[in-house]
Structure 1
Amino acid sequence: MDEYTVPTSAQPLLFSIRYIFFPALILSCLLAFKSSSWIRLLFLAWYTAHLLQGMSMRTGNSWSDYSNGSTLGGELMKTLSLLFLVNPAQDWCHRSDGNRKIANRPWWQRIYWCFCAAYTMRGVGWNFQVPGVPSPSRMNRYMFLACAVLRVVVSYLLLDAAQCLMQVIPFFNDPEPDASMRSYSYRVQVFYTVVCFSVPYGSIRFYYYLGAFFAVLTGYSSQEDWPSVFGSWADACSVRNIWGKTWHQMFRRQYSSIGKAVAKRLGAPPGSISSFIVQLFAAFLVSGIMHLFGDYTIGLKHIGVTLPFFVLQPFAILFEEFFFFGLVCLKVDKHIFSLPTPIKRCFGYLWTLVWFTYSSSWYIDPIAQAKFGRNAILPFSVIRFFQL
């Protein structure tokens, strides 16, 4: 296998069926039939062992391995939340349910309903829809399909550009031992950060809009069910907004449920500052643990190398909450002055850029040391084709 080969198309499909779809079907049955706690514990034990087996499989491509590991880690966190922290059949409902109770439906409808609830990650159209999801599309069906195709193409080209750059930049494909992007100029650090984070950004957009296109084309769902997967970059004037509005919200539901459970266990009153802080740190810790499974797929020595990036984010959010609160409500001689909104936003954009450029080193350096730049992200490069 040469350095730019990718796994065949059959491998990801079989992997998804075996380690994502099949366990999700069993999980849906357990939720639909309100299985007892001990049965859920047995399933969780089997499921954990099953996922660890999946994480031990290798494709020979670092990007695919890391994506598989992180995805399975996210599946484990989601399953834990659905089994023990929420009660979907009792507490959740879809806008199409009306007054019909899920318990009164045929068994196969209950399983399908639970399966949809589990895999509607942002809860679009459900009563548990997470905050920060962009407004539903107002385009008609044909305009939406055309826009989805355009977004798929743009996302593919973005991924193509990112992989071509990483394959020619020595820092990503042939780094010096223990090299850090902080040893480069600030402009280069910003460039490396943009290139590296273009991969998850482009990948999520590509698969999301590809799924949206086929779902709306076949009439399985309407365009209102597919709001933009990312928020507006104009909102990225704070670290909190980056994670809460601009970045995707795919895992926010399970992170929130775990965070609330931890805060309740620690005795933090709901709605209090202490509860907010506990939930904040718990959510990012769970996110770090999810990516830790991705670390495992690229080698035992890499386990936990990306964890500091996620653990540090709550500190930045708390800092900006207190610091910018002081800028907004600056009290002088019993008078409260507020900085003009444009100035506050400029400060916010600058702070956010500096923070992410600095903290991203804990995420990008391990990727570079694992020589991700030697592997292809896509099976076919449009850019390389036109360079020939």
Structure 2
Amino acid sequence: MDQQISPTPSFIIPLSLIIFTLGLTFQSRSIRTSFFIALLSTSYLTIFRSSTGIPPLNYAYATALGCLTFQALDFLVLTNPHSELHLVGDEKNISEKPFSTRFLWAWKLVLSPRGIGWSHEPKDILPPHPKAQSRVSFISSQFLSTIPWIFIGDAANLALRSHPGFQLNGPSISNVGPFMRILNVWIFALPGAATLQLQYKMFSIIATAAGFYRPEDWPELFGKWSDAYTIRRFWGRTWHQIMRRWVSAPGNIVAQRFLNLKQGTKMSAYTKLFVAFLISGTIHQMCDYSLQHRDFWAGGSFTFFLSQAVMIILEDSVIAAGKRLGIQAGSYVRILGYIWTLVWFAITLPIWLDPYFHDGMATSEGLSVIGALWKRDWTGSSVNLSLPLSY
């Protein structure tokens, strides 16, 4: 590790959130930009010049700060938030309100990356809002819905820790049989999806119980898994959409202002698509680097995420050709689409995940309910599942 690497301050995430929120209270773009530069500098020093000594924790810090930085680029620099962003039902311009009101407005905006309840919420993309109900009813249903995700994520995580390809300096996860290549996709995806679900549901319980939000403010984090029968639909509808707004905003600037492309054309849409995956790839590449602070390009995130954009364009072309040939979008076509989507991720995930896990992403011990019930081991470290690696 580089000799110049310093310990990561434990307060860096709260500090970054305060910088971001304070910046949003100012109407002047130049002042907001100065707050963005402060946040950018904080993120750079934390991701590239500090370490907790625990690779997964480094990754968590880098993820939070990378996302905050690009969200801040959108809200502090590229957008005029005081006139363009407002809560549904509120006045459109917040700039004339007292500081305390502006700060609370800004805090809600920062903590609403999907724009839930805001004028910019992509309602045609996100799952529908829950129906109005009592807080007690909502909290009870949210709590009960966490139970399946606890066991799903736990089981998948135990499988991940039993798989040599996901271990520190292990072999490639592609060094298995074809069935296991498909199973690898689920072993990787389910712990992450479960963690995000549990965090989201617990936050919804706490925030709703405290009276900060209503039950109607919590649409499901993920879209329907049945919608994931193309690569485009997986990324655009099924996956969490937390990053959607601020990976899209720079693409709009590039397509319309820099390249002067006509809105609604394929060239404009595909330019925005590439910029969105470029930003996502950049964030994940920085997170890859944070694991061990080695060569920045040793990680595979950049290649993986840009390949998604390339394949979506090719996929669109194949679908369009199929429609011209009279192929109807029936159940058999969708089944073929599900198979295709799984196969694509089975092929491309090793590009991202091999360096990601071999640099220690799965080295920290977690909490395992299954391990406790099965072997009286709350860490799950004594559980070693027999996986069909050669099949």
Q: Into which bin does the TM-score normalised by the smaller protein fall?
A: 0.7 to 0.9
Q: Is the 8 A contact 1:58 1:65 kept in 2?
A: yes
Identity of aligned residues (%): 26
Gaps of 5+ in 2: 1-6, 377-391
1:312 aligned to 2:277?
A: no
Q: How far apart, in 2, do the equivalents of 1:95 and 1:42 lie?
A: 29
Cα gap change, 1:268 to 1:101, in 2 (>3 Å)? closer
Task: Tell me how far 1:236 sits from its aligned partner.
Answer: 0.5
Task: Tell me how far 1:250 sits from its aligned partner.
Answer: 0.5
Letter paired with 2:185: T
Task: Tell me how far 1:340 sits from its aligned partner.
Answer: 4.8
Name the residue aligned to 2:226: 234
Residues paired across the two proteins, number: 363
Letter paired with 2:338: Y
Per-residue CA deviation, residues 67-103 of structure 1 (Å, 9 max, x unaligned), is 2112211111111111221111101221231x46423
Pairing partner for 1:344 from 333, 337, 344: 333
For residues 74-223 of structure 1, the aligned pairs below 5 Å read: 74-97=67-90, 99=91, 101-130=93-122, 131-138=124-131, 140-141=133-134, 142-173=136-167, 175-176=169-170, 179-223=171-215
The alignment's TM-score, normalised by the length of structure 2, stands at: 0.86
Q: How far apart, in 2, do the equivalents of 1:298 and 1:103 lie?
A: 41
Task: Tell me how far 1:175 sits from its aligned partner.
Answer: 4.6
Cα gap change, 1:244 to 1:67, in 2 (>3 Å)? same
Q: How far apart, in 2, do the equivalents of 1:342 and 1:114 lie?
A: 45
Q: Which has the higher contact order (CA 8 A, sep 6+)?
A: 1
Cα gap change, 1:100 to 1:231, in 2 (>3 Å)? closer
Name the residue aligned to 1:22: 15
Cα gap change, 1:166 to 1:62, in 2 (>3 Å)? farther
Q: Is the 8 A contact 2:228 2:341 kept in 1?
A: yes
1:281 aligned to 2:274?
A: yes
Q: Is the 8 A contact 1:137 1:224 kept in 2?
A: yes
Q: Is the 8 A contact 1:72 1:293 kept in 2?
A: no
Q: How far apart, in 1, do the equivalents of 2:62 and 2:195 lie?
A: 15
Pairing partner for 2:65 from 42, 62, 72: 72
Q: Is the 8 A contact 1:66 1:298 kept in 2?
A: yes
Q: Which range moves more in the overlay, 367-376 or 274-283? A: 367-376
Q: Is the 8 A contact 1:269 1:275 kept in 2?
A: yes
Gaps of 5+ in 1: 1-10, 331-336
Cα gap change, 1:340 to 1:186, in 2 (>3 Å)? same
Q: Please give the root-mean-square deviation of Cα atoms over the aligned residues, in Å.
A: 2.2
SS at match of 1:271: coil
Pairing partner for 1:255 from 233, 244, 247: 247
1:382 aligned to 2:369?
A: yes
Q: Is the 8 A contact 1:20 1:75 kept in 2?
A: no
Q: Is the 8 A contact 1:268 1:274 kept in 2?
A: yes
Name the residue aligned to 1:323: 318
